[in-house]
A and B are shown apart, each in its own frame.
Chain A
C-alpha cells in the first residue's frame, strides 16, 4: 500500500477539519478527494505531504509510519493549487530546485541535473520556455511546470491540490486527460483534490467523497455514482430533484408517489426524502402513472441533443428539473406556461437527516 491513512483527525482552533478519516491508496492508483470547500480534503492532502501534522491517527507511506516525518523525508511530489512556482527563478531553475537541494552524497552531477530537467520540460512540452520566468507563462503552462518540478525528484507519490482549479474550461479538460496519461506512464500513486465531480469521475480510478471532515464514501466512479452511500453523495455527484415523504415499510409514498426504497444507510425517523436525477424524469402530456405530478413549464434551455426543462410542481410549488431528448421535446410540442405530468423513473430514498 503506497498511502495508508489511519483514523486521522485534525483540528484548527474549534474547527474540526478532518474527523477520523481512513483511506488507502495502492501504488499505481489515481484517487480523487472530492468534496465541497471546507470539507477537509485539502487538509487531508497536506497531512499526507507533511505540511500539516495530524492531532491523532497515523499516516503510513510505503508501509512505513511517516506520521512525524518532515516533508523532505517523505519524498512526495506536491502540486499546489496556485502552483507556488519560485517567482525569482527561471522555469529551468524551478524544475532543477528539487535536485539541487539534495544532500551532496545523493545529488546528481550538474550535467545529469541538466539532462533530467530538459527531459522533464520536454515531457510537459515546455522545453522552449526554460529561460522564462513564471509570470511570463499562462496558467496552463505554469501548471505543467509545477508538475515537472514535482516529478523531478522522482517521487513515488504525487499529490495535487485542485490541480485544474484556476484554469479555463477547455485547458482544464486537456490537462486532466494529459494528467491521466502521465500518471499511467510514470507509475506513481496519485491523490488529487477537487470540488468538481465531473473531473473526479472522469479522471480517477477511485473517488473518495468528503463532507464536513468525514469520508462519506470511497469507490470507483461507477460505484459511487450508481450506489451512493448517502444523500450527500448522491447530491454532490449531480443535479437532483427532491421529493418529501414518509418512509413506510418496503414502499415509500412520496407525495402522491410510491417508490421502491433505495439502498440507504441513513434510515431512521420515518421522514424520508426521495431523489431523482433530471434525466430520470418522465415528462408527458398525460399522466404516465398514478405517481405523476402535474407541473407548469417555466423555462427551457440547453443546446445539443438534450433539452432541460424547469418545471414548477402544482401542489407543492417546488421547482423540478427534467432532461429529455430533443426529439421527444419536439414531439410534445410544449410551450412555456403549459402544464405537463412528470414522474421519476427511478427514485432513491434516504432518511431525512440531510438538507441541501
Chain B
C-alpha cells in the first residue's frame, strides 16, 4: 500500500517544491544571519587595518601565551575526560548497580549548571577562605588564579562530552564480543584494546572533538577562576574580552579570528570523522 493513498496531505506537502524551497531558504537565511555574517565580520574587523596590524596582534606575546594556555588546558581536559568518560561509560553500559541513574545524572551536571556557577564552586573550594584554601596556602600550592584552576575548570565543564557520546553506543553494542574474546583466552587488557577500543573508536573520537571544541571556547567558568593575569592565566576567550574592553578592536578581533579558525578546523575534522565513520558504519 502506498502511503500517499492513505495520507495524501503530508506526502504532498513534503514533496511540494515550494515548501521545500521555503524551508531550505529559511534555514540558509538563519545560518547566514547568525553564523556566517558574524564569522565574516570577525575576519573583516581583524583585517580592517591590514595584514601588518593583524600579524602584530596575533604575534603579540600575550596573545601567544593565551593560545598556549588554551591549547594546554584543552589537551589536558580532553586527555582526562577521555579516560574518565571511557571509565564512566564502561561502568554504566556494562554493569548494573545501585545508583546508576544517579551517576548518569551527575555526568550531565556540568551541562545543566551555568559555567559561572561551576567557576564559583572552585573559588569556594580552593579560595583562601574556601574548604581547601587554608591547607593549600600553608603548603604553598597556588591553584586559584593560576593555571591549575583554569585546567580544572575546563575539565569540569567538558566532562560530559565523551561519556555522553559513548554510553548509548556501548549500550547498543552489548558485551558479547568482549565475552567472546575472554573465552578465546584474551586477557582483559588485550580484550579492551583489540575488541572494545576498535569498536568504539569513532564514537570516542567524536566525543573527543566535541570536548575539545568546548574546552577551547570555555569562557564563564575559566573567567571566574583565572584571575585575568595577562600572559599567564588568560585563555584565548579571556584575552579577546580584555582587548575588546580596552577598545583595541583590531587586536580583539584578530585573536577572536584565531579562536574561530580553531573552531573551523575542529568542525572540518569532525566532518571528516563522521564521513569516515559512516563509511565504516556501512561495513561494520
Chain B neighbourhood of A135, CB < 8 A:
283-284
- Which residues of chain B in 155-213 are interfacial with respect to chain A, using CB atoms and an 8 Å cutoff? 176-177, 179-187, 190, 194-195, 198-199
Chain A neighbourhood of B283, CB < 8 A:
133, 135-136
A221 within 8 Å of B (CB atoms): no
- Which residues of chain A in 63-121 are interfacial with respect to chain B, using CB atoms and an 8 Å cutoff? 70-72, 74-78, 80, 82, 84-88, 97-98, 101-102
Residue contact A51 to B179, C-beta cutoff 8 Å: yes
Residue contact A75 to B284, C-beta cutoff 8 Å: no
Residue contact B177 to A78, C-beta cutoff 8 Å: no
Chain B neighbourhood of A77, CB < 8 A:
183
Residue contact B180 to A101, C-beta cutoff 8 Å: no
- Which residues of chain A in 291-307 are interfacial with respect to chain B, using CB atoms and an 8 Å cutoff? none
- Do A101 and B187 form a contact, CB below 8 Å, given A51-B179, A70-B182, A86-B195? yes
Chain A neighbourhood of B181, CB < 8 A:
86, 97, 101
> Which of B182, B184, B190 is the most central at the interface, judged by chain A CB atoms within 10 Å of its CB?
B184
Residue contact A86 to B180, C-beta cutoff 8 Å: yes
Residue contact B183 to A102, C-beta cutoff 8 Å: no
Residue contact B180 to A133, C-beta cutoff 8 Å: no
Residue contact A72 to B186, C-beta cutoff 8 Å: yes
Taken together as a complex, chains A and B put the C-alpha atoms of A183 and B218 apart, in Å, by 62
- Do A149 and B184 form a contact, CB below 8 Å, given A135-B283, A135-B284? yes
- Do A80 and B284 form a contact, CB below 8 Å, given A86-B195, A97-B181, A102-B185? no
Chain A neighbourhood of B176, CB < 8 A:
80, 82, 84
Nearest CB of chain B from residue A155's CB, rounded to whole Å: 9
Residue contact B284 to A88, C-beta cutoff 8 Å: yes
Taken together as a complex, chains A and B put the C-alpha atoms of A82 and B177 apart, in Å, by 10
Size category of the A interface is 20 to 34
A224 within 8 Å of B (CB atoms): no
B185 contact from A80, A82, A86, A98, Cβ within 8 A:
A98
Taken together as a complex, chains A and B put the C-alpha atoms of A190 and B186 apart, in Å, by 22
Taken together as a complex, chains A and B put the C-alpha atoms of A350 and B129 apart, in Å, by 80
Chain A neighbourhood of B190, CB < 8 A:
101
- Do A84 and B182 form a contact, CB below 8 Å, given A101-B187, A101-B190? no
A80 contact from B179, B198, B199, Cβ within 8 A:
B179
Taken together as a complex, chains A and B put the C-alpha atoms of A79 and B140 apart, in Å, by 60
B183 contact from A51, A87, A88, Cβ within 8 A:
A51
Nearest CB of chain A from residue B167's CB, rounded to whole Å: 19
A49 within 8 Å of B (CB atoms): yes
A97 contact from B179, B184, B199, B284, Cβ within 8 A:
B184
Chain A neighbourhood of B180, CB < 8 A:
78, 80, 84-86, 149
Chain B neighbourhood of A49, CB < 8 A:
183
Q: Mark A112-150, 1 if CB is under 8 A from B, else 0.
A: 000000000000000000000101100000000000011
Residue contact A72 to B182, C-beta cutoff 8 Å: yes
A54 within 8 Å of B (CB atoms): no
Residue contact B198 to A101, C-beta cutoff 8 Å: no
Nearest CB of chain A from residue B66's CB, rounded to whole Å: 40
A50 within 8 Å of B (CB atoms): yes
Nearest CB of chain A from residue B189's CB, rounded to whole Å: 11
Q: Residue on B with the closest CB to A79?
A: B180
Q: Residue on B with the closest CB to A149?
A: B184
A153 within 8 Å of B (CB atoms): yes
Nearest CB of chain A from residue B133's CB, rounded to whole Å: 45
- Do A153 and B184 form a contact, CB below 8 Å, given A82-B176, A88-B198, A88-B199? yes
> Which of B180, B195, B199 is the most central at the interface, judged by chain A CB atoms within 10 Å of its CB?
B180
Q: Residue on A with the closest CB to B180?
A: A84
Nearest CB of chain B from residue A148's CB, rounded to whole Å: 12
- Do A72 and B183 form a contact, CB below 8 Å, given A84-B177, A87-B199, A101-B190? yes
Q: Residue on A with the closest CB to B191?
A: A101
Q: Residue on A with the closest CB to B175?
A: A84
Taken together as a complex, chains A and B put the C-alpha atoms of A136 and B195 apart, in Å, by 19
Chain A neighbourhood of B195, CB < 8 A:
86
Q: Residue on B with the closest CB to A106?
A: B185
Chain A neighbourhood of B185, CB < 8 A:
72, 75, 98, 101-102, 153
B residues with CB within 8 A of A: 176-177, 179-187, 190, 194-195, 198-199, 283-284
A-B interface, 8 closest residue pairs, ranked by CB to CB distance from nearest: A98-B184, A84-B176, A101-B186, A84-B180, A72-B185, A78-B183, A88-B198, A71-B183
Give me 26 A-to-B residue pairs in the complex whose CB atoms sit less than 8 angstroms apart, sorted by A's number. Answer: A50-B183, A51-B179, A71-B179, A71-B182, A72-B182, A72-B183, A72-B185, A72-B187, A76-B183, A78-B179, A80-B176, A80-B180, A84-B177, A84-B180, A86-B181, A87-B177, A87-B284, A97-B181, A97-B184, A97-B186, A98-B184, A101-B181, A101-B186, A101-B187, A101-B190, A149-B184
Taking A84-B176, A152-B184 as known contacts, 19 extra A-B pairs with beta carbons closer than 8 A to each other, sorted by chain A number, are: A51-B182, A70-B182, A71-B182, A71-B183, A72-B183, A80-B179, A84-B177, A86-B195, A88-B198, A97-B184, A97-B194, A98-B184, A101-B186, A101-B187, A101-B190, A133-B284, A135-B284, A150-B183, A150-B184
